[in-house]
Amino acid sequence: MVEPSRHIVYVEDDVEMIDLVKLILERKGYQVSGASGGQEGWELIKSQLPDLVLLDLMMPDVDGWEVYQKMRDEETTKDIPVIVITAKAQNIDRVLGLHIAKVEDYITKPFKPEDLVESVERFLEKQAA
């Protein structure tokens, strides 16, 4: 059973992707806020301090790695877990994300809804423990 207070921010420049992810995760009981673009996402993360951030990497204004770096540099956001959701499927990108930047997970588009839910649940449960 998911606690209704679990809040996720999804930073993505494609509004249809935001709607899709919101639909998938809200059906599982999560509260999801979408931000279209890195700058809007960073503002939303700072103001809402979510339990988890889903982050696209390739955005026109401020890219995902820049948002991630800002999160890690800020005291109030540095411990919020981040799952990258991106079309960048190269192995080098996965290595950078998982082993160098230390994001919690790296999901490539297109993805299966159950893979997204499983990843989100894994990190929110670990955080609650």
Any idea which residue has 């999901």 for tokens? 107
Q: Which domain, by its residues, includes 79?
A: 7-128
Q: How many domains does the chain have?
A: 1
The pLDDT, as a whole number, for residue 1 is 47
β-partners of residue 55 are 11, 84
Q: Is residue 35 part of a domain?
A: yes
Q: Is residue 2 part of a domain?
A: no
Domain CATH for 23: 3.40.50.2300
Which pLDDT tens digit goes with each residue over 76-111?
Answer: 999 999 999 888 666 666 656 555 567 888 888 889
Mean pLDDT along residues 116-123: 93
Q: Is residue 27 part of a domain?
A: yes
β-partners of residue 35 are 11
One-letter amino acid for residue 107 of the chain: I
